[in-house]
Structure 1
Amino acid sequence: MNGTEQPCEISWFSALCDDDYEFLGVSDPRLKSSWEHCRDIVLQAESGGFDNILLPSGYALGIDTTAFAAGIAALTRRIRLLMAVRIGESWPPQLARQIATLDRMLGLTGGGLPRLTVNIISSDLPGETLDSAPRYQRTVEAMHILRTLLNGEHLKFDGDFWKLDLAPPGVTTLTGKCPPLYFGGLSPAAREAAAQGCDVYLMWPDSMAGVRAIIADLRERAARHGRTLKFGYRVHVVVRETEAEARAAADRLLSRLDAETGAAIRARSLDSQSAGVARQAELREAASASDGYVEDNLWTGIGRARSGCGAAIVGDPDQVLAKLNAYRAEGIDAFILSGYPHAAEADLFARHVLPRIAHAPLG
């Protein structure tokens, strides 16, 4: 068990992939992915005291993540960036050079940790589809290549997807080490990839029993490779001064959504057929038909209008804090939170909950 007295990393989310709404499923030009809008979310999160912020990536959605990270690096001073990179679109040696360059642009935290962290996505090459097992094998190879080169080591690699014999790039990270690699996926192949290659395993919302089982399985898998993992939890949040106000705010998010629009949104997602998305659908089906709650303060209604992360912690500040601490007690080391609209909900969480939880960048 992980005692809740230990700090956890608290991150927010910037909507680079057109995922920001006042009413779920209703497009709002003010909240579309743009440099200005996503910049303002990052700056709101930094001023609010968050430790890190996820910059998501989707080929068909929104703006480019690596270019955005380079631009926002000059405007931030403290917050870390969790930059998502799509392995299907990358040549690992070039990606290593980009990561090292961004690392130097961002600098280190006050505690000497890299401000750049990397979210590895096991994506396809746009226009092509690779079966799950080889796609995750390619991701394992990419993580090995990145870690070797960014650790400043000569790479001699004979893999299924890359055969490389080369020195590390001339530009190095400030620490001389690879930044932390965050990675998620629920299928057996994804879990094995995480066990072999990442530093922080990310999971989407699940019941408390589900979280416990996933952590136990990943710890066992990592141990077989002589490794240990840290664990992150990606979830939405709706916090208000009272539970009644929070539930009303959650209901308002869905007040203009019809079932057909919700189904269309879920179907067009790049990961709409994944094991993780299937688990989010199972949670919705298991939830109360009357209000969408699958357990105390875990509301699955958001999943009616989006693929992927499909549940929210909903409640007053005490309830939200208690839920986060319950996850921490199960072994969660980091949270990636979001809410709608993202800048406004970041401010609410920063005022009502963040000062009451021990948090710091994940070492």
Structure 2
Amino acid sequence: MTPTCEVSWFSALCDDDYEFLGVPDARLQSSWEHCRDIVLQAETGGYDNILLPSGYALGIDTTAFAAGIAPMLKRLALLMAVRVGESWPPQLARQIATIDQMLGGRLNINIISSDLPGETLASGPRYARTVEAMRILKTLLNGEPLDHDGEFWKLKLDPPRIRTVSGKAPLLYFGGLSPDARDAAAKACDVYLMWPDTKENVAAIIADMQERAARHGRTLRFGYRAHVIVRETEDEARSYAERLLSKLDAASGAAIRAKSLDAQSAGVAAQTALRENAAADGYVEENLWTGIGRARSGCGAAIVGDPDQVLAKLDSYRAMGIEAFVLSGYPHAAEADLFARHVLPRIEHARLAR
């Protein structure tokens, strides 16, 4: 039997919602109202969790949005992205505990190894700082006194009075493909998130990360972040994929990719290689289409097909050890509804337990 998995959707807080990729649409621009509606669609659709992304230069503030939406939700969990370079960990711990209380214990955190806006750290130090931040957060949110003598923070503190509902730190999701990123994940995160890749590469990444975590006496859980296009027939799904790119020109796509804060990362390079190795129609393997990456940096491929094909693709990842999916589609609210009606009821799913 395929194990239970967590199925999350995505709310476009970073100006990443389109009817036609690369064509800005004022109705789909990030705003409180638009992003709220995507989250409420995910709650109605039965998803377990929803990623709230974060970008300094794009969209709206993630922590403020999470606090605003929390009282509106009855069962959906939030996966709140936080940018380490912009945060002081003790204050962030209090914010996390407060929002977790507002959600009744349904907050998870996506750690982003970011720079402080206007500054640039080399990869090694930046990820070392991220490991420190994750360890500080876990200590404080587990209700333990902190005595931390690190390179970036030297802190001796009691835990904040405000605690999470469980009294424990929330799950920390984290991704990155460079050696420094992989080591950081192995040392401190709970759920290692991957972007789309071939089945062979996914299996190789999982095996590598299991080995790295074992060196530190740890185990990891694995997540997979992908776009999805599901329609009643495969032809309809493929036609919709082509429609998404029908108004994109190469120069506009390159400009969109270049402005992303992670445009030079190892993960983005891997998505570029995936796209370059695809067939002329953009498919790199069965039902995995790389055309999305022509108009965005980061996660650049979609699972495309009829409900049976999309389900089979997800099941193949689950059989490899993936326990959490973070899915999205364009436009996000409409595609959340389609996936919720055609595929989600056929998956045994639930929020990941802490």
TM-score by length of 2: 0.99
Query: Of residues 13, 16, 23 in structure 1, which corresponds to 2:13?
Result: 16
> Does residue 1:216 correspond to 2:207, yes or no?
yes
Q: Which amino acid aligns with 1:173?
A: T
1:82-124 per-residue CA deviation (whole Å, 9 max, x = no partner) reads 00000000000000000000010100xxxxxx30000000000
Structure 2 counterpart of 1:362: 352
> Does residue 1:62 correspond to 2:59, yes or no?
yes
Gapped regions of structure 1 (runs ≥ 5)? 108-113
Q: What CA RMSD, in Å, does the superposition of the two structures yield over aligned residues? A: 0.5
1:266-288 per-residue CA deviation (whole Å, 9 max, x = no partner) reads 00100000000000000001000
Structure 1 residue 174, shift from structure 2 partner:
1.1
Matches within 5 A, 1:1-363: 4=2, 6-107=3-104, 114-289=105-280, 291-363=281-353
Secondary structure at the aligned position of 2:274 is classed as helix
1:296-349 per-residue CA deviation (whole Å, 9 max, x = no partner) reads 000000000000000000000000000000000111000000000000000000
Secondary structure at the aligned position of 1:21 is classed as coil
Instruction: Measure the CA separation in 1 of the matches of 2:19 and 2:165.
Output: 40
Instruction: Measure the CA separation in 1 of the matches of 2:50 and 2:117.
Output: 25
Instruction: Measure the CA separation in 2 of the matches of 1:48 and 1:150.
Output: 31
Structure 1 residue 292, shift from structure 2 partner:
0.3
Instruction: Measure the CA separation in 2 of the matches of 1:175 and 1:309.
Output: 32
TM-score by length of 1: 0.97
Instruction: Measure the CA separation in 2 of the matches of 1:103 and 1:26.
Output: 36
Q: Which amino acid aligns with 2:168?
A: K
Instruction: Measure the CA separation in 2 of the matches of 1:358 and 1:200.
Output: 19
Secondary structure at the aligned position of 1:234 is classed as strand
Instruction: Measure the CA separation in 1 of the matches of 2:347 and 2:99.
Output: 30
Gapped regions of structure 2 (runs ≥ 5)? none
Structure 1 residue 54, shift from structure 2 partner:
0.1
Instruction: Measure the CA separation in 1 of the matches of 2:300 and 2:5.
Output: 22
Instruction: Measure the CA separation in 1 of the matches of 2:340 and 2:166.
Output: 30
Q: Which amino acid aligns with 1:208?
A: K
Instruction: Measure the CA separation in 1 of the matches of 2:12 and 2:189.
Output: 24
Q: Which amino acid aligns with 1:222?
A: A
Secondary structure at the aligned position of 1:328 is classed as helix
Secondary structure at the aligned position of 2:98 is classed as helix
Instruction: Measure the CA separation in 2 of the matches of 1:115 and 1:166.
Output: 26
Secondary structure at the aligned position of 1:83 is classed as strand
Instruction: Measure the CA separation in 1 of the matches of 2:78 and 2:238.
Output: 31
Instruction: Measure the CA separation in 2 of the matches of 1:253 and 1:44.
Output: 21
Q: Which amino acid aligns with 1:220?
A: E
Instruction: Measure the CA separation in 2 of the matches of 1:260 and 1:10.
Output: 34
Instruction: Measure the CA separation in 1 of the matches of 2:163 and 2:349.
Output: 29
Instruction: Measure the CA separation in 2 of the matches of 1:157 and 1:361.
Output: 32
Instruction: Measure the CA separation in 2 of the matches of 1:82 and 1:104.
Output: 14
Instruction: Measure the CA separation in 2 of the matches of 1:362 and 1:166.
Output: 30
Instruction: Measure the CA separation in 2 of the matches of 1:177 and 1:139.
Output: 20
Structure 1 residue 170, shift from structure 2 partner:
1.1
Instruction: Measure the CA separation in 1 of the matches of 2:293 and 2:339.
Output: 21
Instruction: Measure the CA separation in 2 of the matches of 1:153 and 1:75.
Output: 31
Secondary structure at the aligned position of 2:213 is classed as helix
Secondary structure at the aligned position of 2:137 is classed as helix
Runs of 4+ displaced beyond 4 Å: none
Instruction: Measure the CA separation in 2 of the matches of 1:286 and 1:127.
Output: 35
Structure 2 counterpart of 1:110: none
Instruction: Measure the CA separation in 2 of the matches of 1:354 and 1:157.
Output: 43
Secondary structure at the aligned position of 1:71 is classed as helix
Instruction: Name the count of aligned residue pairs.
Output: 353
Q: Which amino acid aligns with 1:262?
A: G
Q: Percent of aligned pairs with the same residue?
A: 78
Secondary structure at the aligned position of 1:287 is classed as coil
1:33-72 per-residue CA deviation (whole Å, 9 max, x = no partner) reads 0000000000000000000000000000000000000000
Instruction: Measure the CA separation in 1 of the matches of 2:159 and 2:251.
Output: 51
Structure 1 residue 20, shift from structure 2 partner:
0.1
